[in-house]
Amino acid sequence: MPAWLQLMLDSFWPLLKAGLAFTVPLTLLSFAGGLILAFIVALIRLFGPKPLVLIVRFYVWLIRGTPLLVQLFIIFYGLPNAGIVLDPLPAALIGFILNVGAYNSEVIRSAIESIPKGQWEAAYSLSMTRGQAMRRTVLPQAARVAVPPLANSFISLVKDTSLAAVLTVPEIFQAAQRIAAVTYEPLILYTEAALIYLIFSSVLSAAQTRLERRYGQHAVFTEGQR
């Protein structure tokens, strides 16, 4: 067996284990927290008082206008100068949640705004409050619009978690770096890490396709009916 293949076989489980132990939980927790934050920010942008609107607009502008890597460095390496010291995993989690929240808030806001005013008026004509109209009429329709971009954001987040390696979080890429430092075979190890990310992303892409088809079944119109 070629030496490079033997190395890939020997390192596959440590890399996969790092992915299952750190990359997957970090992705899930970051996306869940970011989605909650995004929903809150979107609602404030749409219905909140002006002072809060200005604050969340500044937050979205700041996060979207600066690199994620810089944000992670500020949280992990910069905040200790202000007396705030965080462990690597919580620091990465906070950074990803803030990033996901800013980007996905625009997705959710756009999805809600895409619902015609007639849907709101129909709900009000049935004596629904704004909250009831949102829950029962608007959000179910907005979810169909938001699912594809949110799913793309989730898949991108899986790959972005590799940036947590700079905070010494022992996820896939960090594990590959450690093995490469011992074996002096960075090309093989980094290629294998890329393949594992590709496997994760491919599985999620397949799940995204099924999810979009499921929501598509409930669409009001199909292409043939328009």
Instruction: Tell me the mean pLDDT in the region 4-21.
Output: 93
pLDDT in tens, 57-105: 999 999 999 999 999 999 999 999 999 999 999 999 999 999 999 999 9
Summarised one tens digit per residue, pLDDT across range 158-175 is 999 999 999 999 999 999
Q: What is the pLDDT of residues 113-160, one digit of tens each?
A: 998 988 888 888 888 888 888 888 888 889 889 988 999 999 999 999
pLDDT of residue 125: 85
d(Cα 175, Cα 156) in Å, to the nearest integer?
20
Q: pTM (2 decimals)?
A: 0.88
Q: What is the pLDDT of residues 206-220, one digit of tens each?
A: 888 888 777 665 454
* Helices marked H in 19-129: 24-47, 50-64, 68-73, 88-113, 117-125
- The pLDDT assigned to 99 comes to 97
Half-sphere exposure of 81 (CA within 13 A, CB side): 5
